[in-house]
Structure 1
Amino acid sequence: MIIINNFIEYKAFEGQMVGFSDWHTIDQNQINRFAEATLDDQWIHINKERAEKEGPFKSTIAHGYLLLSLIPYLWKQIAEVRNVKMEINYGIENFKFGQAVTVGSDVKLQATVKSVTDLRRTIKVVVEAKLLIRNQSKPAYTGDVIFLYHFLEENNR
């Protein structure tokens, strides 16, 4: 895990692949809870029998947005950003889903810090997020996430 205390330390990682999260298993309970929370109860996600019989993956699959929602959790396993009074999930850009994630699959995040910009004391960080699937050559997705950080004043530089 990398530790970042201020803008200058963050800037030092610009352009670097900074690491991987731990593996996280996508289980049916997590998929079902996400379906309930988002009102997205499409059968390919929650109906095991139908998915096995009619689905192209012969299994239920995780929602794409469930996989995206894991980014903050998995990112915190890669980087600990300290001395922050506020952190904002600002946006996502250029995301492409490359492969479905079937129930029981293990996934992990690979992160590359693409850019670190000081916008008048608000630090904008663009991280390329790639969600890898164990024993698969294609990632589940690749795209950029944007975080905004407000460091404590004495740690801003």
Structure 2
Amino acid sequence: MKDRIGETLGTSRWFDVEQSLISQFSASTLDDDPMHLDVEWAKANTPFGGTVAAGFWTTSMLITMSHDIGFIDAFGREAEPYYALNYGFNHMRLITPVPVGRRIRGHMRLRDFQDRGEGKFLFVIDVEVEIEGEAKPALVAEWLAMVVRHG
């Protein structure tokens, strides 16, 4: 994997930002902010023209995007049993709010790879979440994944 540092891991497919998903996320996190839930309120009281996704919803989509890209499969789960754990972030910024009704996708690149011994490998992944039709991304991050061999 050291030879792959700097390589693009891939780009996910587009994901629809649907009000039902944002509402479910808000319910599960006990976040009742009308900016995420009340379309009429958001139209009248925000510059976004309607509801927007919670930044943590956008962040949580990184898991789905990494699966879509096939991140862990590229590491070789077929040859040896591995699983990946979200290990956090060195850096993350939520740049542009994501309006409900738009689409997002993720771009990922391998920044670094470290063998931590005992079957543990730290991946540092540069991530950008693009909003379709927007010049600025929704999110940029340096994301950490700990891949662990098991079995």
* Alignment counterpart, residue 73 of structure 1, candidates 64, 68, 74: 64
Alignment partner, residue 6 of structure 1: none
Say whether residues 1:43 and 2:34 are aligned partners: yes
Per-residue deviation at 1:152?
5.0
The alignment partner of 1:103 has SS state of: coil
Q: Which residue identity does 1:129 align to in structure 2?
A: V
**Number of positions where the alignment pairs a residue of Structure 1 with one of Structure 2:** 144
Say whether residues 1:101 and 2:98 are aligned partners: yes
CA distance in structure 1 between the partners assigned to 2:127 and 2:52 by the alignment: 20
Do the aligned partners of 1:131 and 1:141 also contact (CA within 8 Å) in 2? yes
CA distance in structure 2 between the partners assigned to 1:84 and 1:131 by the alignment: 29
TM-score, structure 1 normalization: 0.87
The alignment partner of 2:40 has SS state of: helix
Query: For each residue in 1:77-124, what CA deviation from the matched residue of structure 2 results, as whole angstroms up to 9, or x when unmatched?
Result: 112241333321111121111101000110000001000110113100
> How much identity, in percent, do the aligned residues show?
24
The alignment partner of 1:70 has SS state of: helix
* Alignment counterpart, residue 33 of structure 1, candidates 24, 29, 52: 24
Per-residue deviation at 1:66?
0.3
The alignment partner of 2:4 has SS state of: coil
1:7-156 map, 5 Å: 10-78=1-69, 79=71, 80=73, 81=75, 82=77, 83-120=80-117, 121-152=119-150
Task: After the TM superposition, list the runs of 4 or more consecutive aligned residues in structure 1 that deviate by more than 4 angstroms.
Answer: none
